[in-house]
Amino acid sequence: MTDFDTVPPERAGDLGDALYRLFDQTGDPRPLLAAQEAYRAALAHGDHKRAPVWRTNLGLCLVRESERVGRPAALDEALPLLRSAAASRPGRLAVHANLGLGLWRQLERTGDLTLLPEALIALNTAGAAARRRPSAGARVLSNTSSVLMAAWELTGDREHLDAAVEAARAACALVPAGDDAVPGCASALVRALLDRATVAGDRTSVAEPARRLRRSLRAVPPGHPDRPIYLNQLAIAGRATFTGTGDLDALDQAIRDWAEAIRLLPAEHPDRAAYRANRAGALRVRFETVADTGALDEAVRELEEVAAATAMDDPERAARLAGLANALHRKGVAVGASELLARAADLLRAAAELVAPDRPEHREHRVNLGAVLLSAAGLGPGAPPPDEAIAVLTETTTGIGPDDPVLANTLLNLGQARELRGGRDDLAEAAEAYATLLGTEVAPALSRAMAAQSLGQLHAGQARWRAAREALGRAVELLDLVAWAGLGRDDQERLLTQFPALATTAAACAIELDDPDGAVEILEQGRGVLYAQALTRSAGTDEVRANAADLADRLGAAHDLVEASHRSGQSVVWDRHRAVQERDAVLAEIHRTPGLEHFLRPPRIGDLRAGLARGTVVVVNVAAHRCDALLVTATATHHVPLPALTNDDIRRYAATALRPTDAGLTELLAWLWDTVTGPVLDRLDQVGAPDRVWWMPTGALSFLPIHAAGHHGPGDGTTRSVPHRVVSSYLPTIRSLTAPGKPPAPTAATVIAPADARRSHLPATLREAHDVHRYLGPAADLVTGADASAARVGDLLADTGWAHFAGHATADPARPSESYLALHDGPLRIRDLLRAQAGIRRTRTPAYLSACSTVQGGLRLPDENIHIAAALRLAGFADVVATSWPVPDAVAVRAARLIYAGLPGGRPAQAVNAATRALRERYPRRPSCWAAYVHVGADYEVTFPTA
């Protein structure tokens, strides 16, 4: 330690400056503490002309100590020094910038909003002094943005958030290229834009600042103390990008960025635990997205170490224990481990004891404890009863108002716990909990829909069909808000998986009440939610925007505010009632607008029948307690009970269809005839319906080849064969039958046969492509090999009037939006086609997909029809020819020839039907060859392209 007794004050001050610079370059706290000692020695000599400089420098050192070492009391000592320096040197850049920094950190630490005006005045004064110094001015503006962000987080006042964004934008515009301040300014802008995106739903604005931050990070050496801060901000942006787009690469990059930030931080750094907790959260999300159990295990390890390293008196201890408990809860449920759930419960009890009972965090920990106890009770034989869960959750409901964010989870878990115990009084209490939540209009749409679903299932289990239909119908009505179009695609899909068989169960209840028309209306609203949103663009908001743009903006803002208020873990004051009232008022105003009377309202049977002049839509409804067919014609809906059809058989045969063998398919097709298509076609004959059918199967039945059902063994003939009785197509929804409108005659066609760089070229692909090219004539372009890149094919599909793709495709049943066409340089995914949808010319026909499994959807969301053929329909192709499973190359070539030969002067479904019959004749014992081809869409008369 230096003896400063004999050192002149100027020398001590200079030494302090040198030591601070060393800290600034290395992040090592030892020079920082030594610099404080030097400045104190300089100030100990009494009045000196440089004393104000040493006071502001000592204050800055104390602020940095609070940041680097985590000693909050250092701020209390720093502020008097910084204020004194600013008062004695008014208008000077450094003293006012340092005072602004200290006030910002104290505002963050204490939440004392009285510091806000003083901080902004100090920073504005510093900014004025830096008018001719762009680098210094940019730093001041960056800090101003951070102060405003702190105010926004404490108050929820959008004016603070918007001002923070503008200050950060100004900083980025002012800072010179290559300056050391570039990463800090970009980081401030990313942070502010991320928060605004959470409220407003516009995550695209974050992309460019995040790219700028990553580029500027290349100039920041690994040992620079601010590098971990920037990596943390990039990781937060990456996780937000994943949330908005479902891009798993963005989530994985965020996990890597946090890992590097953690590696660079010293073990004792106060931010290290927060970074590790953030990374663990991202790993948990990865598990929830792709069932990566290794990621969940790593998340648990991270949180175990963070919790173990957190001191008993650390104010973050309760949150760290709760974070670990919640990860253990997920792991315990995933592997069925009661010991993990018991430990999670103990951690949540401990977390709740560390927080005052009147704090919202206390209630949150108690609700999570109830959820863990409920999960433990639901593990099966030998599990404890849900008594403790009921007691904890019942106690938590006491005194909770409708605005409390924990109310929804409390009531849902309480209802489920009561149901699990199953006594008569318990079931009545469960119904009351669900009904209360459903009636709480300020609760999140997801929670209300889940309550309605549970209430309806409870009524259905007791054969109270009318009450069940009413409750399940309410859940169906809420699905558009649950999967709101402002969410990312993966979020929408994940949320909808929580409502398996909702629409089909509600429809079955309507059938029990002898209301087949009502059943059809329910299915139209509750199935294909994302498909219908895509057809009408953002759940119809483009339609609203065309008539009243301000209403579309107000509706989106009000909905996002309601949902964000319940997702927020911050102590932000949200006026939820006002937001809900605004949303309802806007909807009422929309419904009063001519042409928008039915926006977000259930489709009416009369409207659905409008496009059915040429045939019948056969809806096959599969529910747990009954299965039925609904034959929807232009004039009536005919009900056909299907008592032999069961969910167990459907699941068994779906496995056959996903891994087809000829023997398995022969059995499957005969079973389909006996249980489904035979009774349906017999009824069609009775009512005199045309021999033109659009099939609309529900649930796992959508994986089965209904169009090919029949007895196809030797000597069976053709009387019990769907292809010989009717011409078949498939539909995602009835509304989609006429949604695109009649297509104009195509003026261009494109035949695509890519060479996939990662796989062998299909041997017959080029032969098929040349055959089709000859059929289509000079108006067709032939794009093969390396020319068929993902970008070029995406552009071609957006513009061409007729498309034929011959090559590889991959269906991803776990994440169906990741299914793709394999191009020369990589995949063209469903989500890519959907993103490009806005720029696509809408009505074209047809598209022919000579590739594997292009009509295979998702296992968890079969009723959403998320497959490549449906994506091309959304891309504007009214008719799509696709396959249910892989087909041998030689068969694919023959099928294309047969189908194209049948197209001139006809319709695509007729051509596919004729080709199916011809292939059946050629391969009578091989249904894997002849039953794979399907038609999806409206079936417009074909006009060949002309040059």
pLDDT in tens, 599-651: 767 788 988 898 888 899 999 999 999 999 999 999 999 999 999 999 999 99
Which burial class, exposed, middle or buried, applies to 723 when counting CB atoms under 10 A from its CB (0-12, 13-18, 19+)? buried
- CATH classification for the domain delimited by 611-730, as one of 3.30.420, 3.30.70, 1.10.3470, 2.60.120: 3.30.420
Is the sign of the CA dihedral 767, 770, 772, 775 positive or negative?
Answer: negative
**What CATH number was assigned to the domain covering residues 310-440?**
1.25.40.10
* pLDDT for the residue numbered 565: 45
**What CATH number was assigned to the domain covering residues 743-937?**
3.40.50.1460
- 510 Rama class: left (phi>0) / alpha (psi -120 to 50) / beta: alpha
Name the 3-class secondary structure at 130.
Answer: coil
User: Would you say 856 and 870 are in contact if contact means Cβ atoms under 8 Å apart?
Assistant: no
pLDDT band of residue 574 (cuts 50, 70, 90) is: very low
Interhelix angle for 360-377 vs 407-421, to 10°?
Answer: 20
pLDDT at 486 over 70: no
How many CB atoms are closer than 10 A to CB 325? 27
Q: How many residues does the chain have?
A: 947
Between CA 2 and CA 20 the distance in angstroms is 15
pLDDT at 397 over 50: yes
Give, as one character, the DSSP assignment of residue 735. G
434-438, 465-469, 766-770: segment of lowest average pLDDT: 766-770
Percent of the chain with pLDDT over 70: 90
Report the Cα 170 to chain-centroid distance in Å: 32
- In angstroms, the Cα distances linking 811 to 851, 854, 857, 930 are 10, 7, 7, 20
* pLDDT for the residue numbered 572: 34
pLDDT band of residue 368 (cuts 50, 70, 90) is: very high
CA within 13 Å, CB half, 694:
27
pLDDT in tens, 612-625: 888 999 999 999 99
- The contacts found for 711-718 with CB under 8 angstroms, 24 or more apart, are 711/669, 711/670, 711/673, 712/666, 712/669, 712/670, 712/920, 712/924, 712/927, 713/666, 713/670, 714/924, 714/925
pLDDT band of residue 843 (cuts 50, 70, 90) is: low
> Domain ranges in the chain?
310-440, 611-730, 743-937
Between CA 519 and CA 10 the distance in angstroms is 88
* β 727-730/692-697 pair status: parallel
Picking from 280, 146, 203, 207, the residue whose alpha carbon sits closest to that of residue 564 is 203
Report the Cα 28 to chain-centroid distance in Å: 41
pLDDT at 753 over 60: yes
Between CA 243 and CA 490 the distance in angstroms is 7
Give, as one character, the DSSP assignment of residue 710. B
* pLDDT for the residue numbered 874: 84
* pLDDT for the residue numbered 575: 44
Q: Can you tell me which residue has the tokens 């400045």?
A: 39
* pLDDT for the residue numbered 183: 87
pLDDT in tens, 60-119: 999 989 888 778 889 899 999 999 888 988 878 888 888 888 998 888 888 888 898 998
pLDDT at 310 over 80: yes
Mean pLDDT within 428-442 = 94
Higher model confidence: residue 83 or residue 583?
A: 83
Please state the pTM of the whole predicted model.
0.78
Q: Which residues contact 220 (CB under 8 A, 6 or more apart)?
A: 183, 226, 227, 230
pLDDT in tens, 652-695: 999 999 999 999 999 999 999 999 999 999 999 999 888 999 99
pLDDT in tens, 36-59: 999 999 888 877 888 889 998 998
Report the Cα 4 to chain-centroid distance in Å: 61
pLDDT at 318 over 80: yes
* pLDDT for the residue numbered 158: 83
Residue type, 842: R
Neighbouring-strand partners of residue 848: 804, 881
How many CB atoms are closer than 10 A to CB 441? 15
* pLDDT for the residue numbered 360: 84
User: Would you say 796 and 790 are in contact if contact means Cβ atoms under 8 Å apart?
Assistant: no
pLDDT in tens, 16-32: 999 989 988 888 889 99
How far from each other are the two terminal CA atoms of the chain, in whole angstroms? Answer: 89
User: Would you say 632 and 604 are in contact if contact means Cβ atoms under 8 Å apart?
Assistant: no
Residue type, 162: D
Evaluate whether 310-440 and 611-730 have a shared fold. no
